[in-house]
Chain A
Amino acid sequence: MPKYRIAELNVEMAPKHPTLLRQGEPYLYDFSGEADVVVDFSEEFYAQKLKEHPELTPDLCEYLWMGFGFYRKLVQYDGLMLHASALAYQGRAYLFSAPCGTGKSTHTSLWRKTFGEDVVILNDDKPALRQIEGVYHAFGTPFSGKTDQNVNIGVPLGGICILERSKENWIKRVQGKDVIFPLMHQTLRPPDAQNMDRLLANLDQLLRTVPIYRMGCNISEDAARLACETMQGGLE
């Protein structure tokens, strides 16, 4: 099976369709020994998923479920997936999470407009978060949602911002319920107790070590400046 390295994990998967073949290419990596993660579904599995989701093409179906297959395993490697647009700027990763249609990608593209090419979109939709030597990093992965914006790097996580639309821009640090509800809704919840406990342990560590914000934002460059100043200022 073709070999990849994603979020510092050795992965085996054999995509057949163009989207994942193309997006996976920068992640091809010839490791020796056993894979950490094997993503392998049967033809019957995909046929069933296509029946359940007639709006999907076989290409998109493979792309989505191979992504889920990979992300499900992350909790076993000190990590989790967060539905967010992730960017890297001046050595730190900043994540903007929200339900679909809120404007995550719009906000990260505002950073590019405002701060230029030093801003790199790590993964526009589903970054992998992993603790490497005790420090949370955000990683680009081949699975970046509707856009192909992702790069194969990992960057220490500087902050996570939960976005909502607002006429005026505002941002504040949040904790407790204000963090737990949105983050639990924007990650993949394992169906079994053992992996749920792993997810909660990883989330607990995330909440203890990474500043989390809530932001109301419009689509002006002021929004990017406010987010950047606040989140860079939140670093110790």
Chain B
Amino acid sequence: MKPKEGLLLRELDGTAIVVATGAAISEFSGLITLNQTGTFLWRRLEQGATEEELIAALLAEYEISEEIARKDVQAFVARAKDAGLLED
């Protein structure tokens, strides 16, 4: 899984945002903000991480149970997919 080509994660006055450029504009003309965990996961998605790899990365970074990590990752990926931000 990867963010679609042309989606940029940037920081604006301390807030992480994702905006579309290039071909991605036709599918996503909006703007999203990411919290700290969202930014962390997005950076790994940029490397092409799978859902399992995202869960492992969360577990390595934060003191949380696998159950919570799995739930968080699934929710994040589902929302990003719904918004048309990801490609396989």
Query: A: which residues have CB within 8 A of B?
Result: 175-177, 179-181, 184-185, 189-193, 196-197, 200, 203-204, 207-208
- Given A177-B15, A200-B12, 7 extra CB contacts under 8 A: A175-B13, A176-B13, A176-B14, A189-B19, A203-B12, A204-B13, A208-B13
A-B pairs with lowest CB-CB distance, top 7: A207-B13, A193-B21, A196-B21, A176-B15, A200-B10, A184-B31, A177-B33
Given A196-B8, A197-B10, A200-B10, A180-B22 contact (CB < 8 Å): no
Interface of B toward A, CB cutoff 8 Å: 6, 8, 10-15, 17, 19, 21-22, 25, 31, 33
- A194's nearest neighbour on chain B, judged by CB, is B21
B19 A180 Cβ-Cβ under 8 A: no
Q: What are 18 A-B interface contacts by the 8 Å CB criterion?
A: A175-B13, A176-B13, A176-B14, A176-B15, A177-B15, A180-B17, A180-B31, A180-B33, A181-B31, A184-B31, A185-B31, A191-B21, A191-B22, A193-B8, A193-B22, A196-B8, A197-B10, A207-B13
Question: A residues within 8 A CB of B22?
Answer: 191-193
Least CB distance from B52 to A in Å reads: 30
Considering the complex, give the chain A residue whose CB is closest to the CB of B25: A191
Alpha-carbon distance between A196 and B17 when the two chains are bound, in angstroms: 12
How distant is A187 from chain B, measured CB to nearest CB, in Å? 11
Set of chain B residues within 8 Å of A200, measured between Cβ atoms: 10, 12, 19
List the A side residues contacting B25 at CB < 8 Å. 191
Distance between Cα atoms of A184 and B13 in the complex (Å): 13
Minimum CB–CB distance from B39 to chain A (whole Å) comes to 14
A193 touches B33 (CB 8 A): no
CB of B21 within 8 A of CB of A190, answer yes
Task: Let me know if B12 and A180 touch, CB within 8 A.
Answer: yes
Complex Cα spacing A175 to B15, Å: 10
